[in-house]
Amino acid sequence: MITVHHLNNSRSQRILWMLEELELDYEIKHYQRNKETMLAPDELKAVHPLGKSPVISDGGEVIAESGAIIEYLGRKYGKDSLTPRTNSKAYQPYVYWLHFAEGSLMPPLLMNLVFEKVKTAPMPFFVRPIAKGIANKVMDGFVSPNIKRHFDFIEQHLSENEWFAGDKISGADIQMSFPLEASAARGLLKEYPKTQAYVVQIHKRTAYRKALENGGEYDYAM
């Protein structure tokens, strides 16, 4: 049986969702973040050297990284339901969005989170204006324009398409879910109605709701 090494409030929630969409049996081993550092516990290093989640074990296989897990599950168990055929029109968009989620979209979102925390982090009073000024300059000159460019691109795509790859849900949608729902929770999608509607749509799916019930604490669900 597939075991999901599941960290609360993490990317591994989308792996639970995929397993529910595929109607596969699985078990969950729960891990909790350190409440002070918000990092994963050291026990995860016994599963994978990097000590991160998501990680799944399936027989003798241990697979880490969301995209790799989604590809593995789709290839082995999907029967073309969540992984488009390689000769279909949906396949290349599927590959593109599968990699776009973490390769293009997440880096500026993480930078946004880091620099927002820099502005409010405890520090000597005489350093605060300097740190805040540097953070604002990086945000205004690089991070925010990049985020806007990416969200404009996504909004345009979802204005013309119901799903990210083809005319039905795929692993690309599951991979894109985490950055979009995290952005929605932080108020970054207010100017993007199609993207907001897309997040609402995926959150209504039966498989998504079942994954939430099984996964436990997850701050980004609506």
In a domain, 198, yes or no: yes
What does the pLDDT read at residue 131?
Answer: 67
Q: Which two tokens stand for residue 163?
A: 């799903």
Q: Give CA–CA dist 105/97, Å, rounded.
A: 10
What does the pLDDT read at residue 38?
Answer: 73
Can you say how many angstroms the Cα of residue 158 is from the centroid of all Cα atoms in its chain?
17
Q: Are residues 97 and 201 in the same domain?
A: yes
Write the DSSP symbol of residue 41: P
In a domain, 221, yes or no: no
Q: Which residues contact 77 (CB under 8 A, 6 or more apart)?
A: 22, 24
Cα Rg of the chain (Å, integer): 18
136-166, pLDDT tens digit by residue?
777 777 889 999 999 999 999 999 999 999 9
Q: Are residues 63 and 122 in the same domain?
A: no
Q: What is the number of structural domains in the chain? A: 2
In a domain, 168, yes or no: yes
In a domain, 222, yes or no: no
In a domain, 220, yes or no: no
Q: Are residues 52 and 102 in the same domain?
A: no
Single out the residue of 25, 26, 22, 24 nearest to residue 79, CA to CA.
22
Q: Are residues 49 and 104 in the same domain?
A: no
Q: Are residues 104 and 73 in the same domain?
A: no
CATH number, position 75: 3.40.30.10
Residues of the chain predicted below pLDDT 50 = none
Q: Are residues 133 and 67 in the same domain?
A: no
Q: Are residues 57 and 133 in the same domain?
A: no
CATH number, position 158: 1.20.1050.10
Phi and psi at 9, nearest 5°, equal 50, 55
What does the pLDDT read at residue 165?
Answer: 97
What does the pLDDT read at residue 138?
Answer: 76
Q: Are residues 117 and 76 in the same domain?
A: no
Q: Are residues 162 and 193 in the same domain?
A: yes
Can you say how many angstroms the Cα of residue 90 is from the centroid of all Cα atoms in its chain?
21
Q: Are residues 109 and 177 in the same domain?
A: yes
Q: Are residues 176 and 118 in the same domain?
A: yes
Domain residues for the domain of 200 are 91-205
Q: Global pTM?
A: 0.90
In a domain, 106, yes or no: yes
